[in-house]
Amino acid sequence: MKRIQYACVEKTIHFQLKDDLPHSAAVTAVRQEVGAYKASLERKGIRCKICSEQEQPDGSVLLGIKMQYNGHAVGPYLD
């Protein structure tokens, strides 16, 4: 018999600039979107760890994150 002891999902999310906005407004919108995403994770009580947050030369953002999977224990993954 198998049992899952620990489970975690690792994601890389690319927050891209919107094409219909001027560059500076698009960069501001991306930063706000990243902030809103982080706040929603906290508000929903999702256990996670942000591993990396990299602003790209064009102003978009890559967010590397480890998240709890389906309510399973996360063990040492988020330490």
- b/e map of 18-27 (b: 16 or more CB within 10 Å)? eeeeeeeebb
Take residue 58 and report the two structure tokens written for it: 């064009």
The model carries a pTM of 0.86
* Lookup result for tokens 């040492």: 76
Can you tell me the distance from the alpha carbon of 74 to that of 67, in angstroms, rounded to the nearest whole number?
8
**Mean pLDDT score, 9-29:** 94
What pLDDT was estimated at residue 70? Answer: 83
**pLDDT tens per residue across span 32-76:** 999 999 999 999 988 999 999 999 999 999 999 999 888 888 888
Q: How far is CA 43 from the centre of its chain?
A: 14
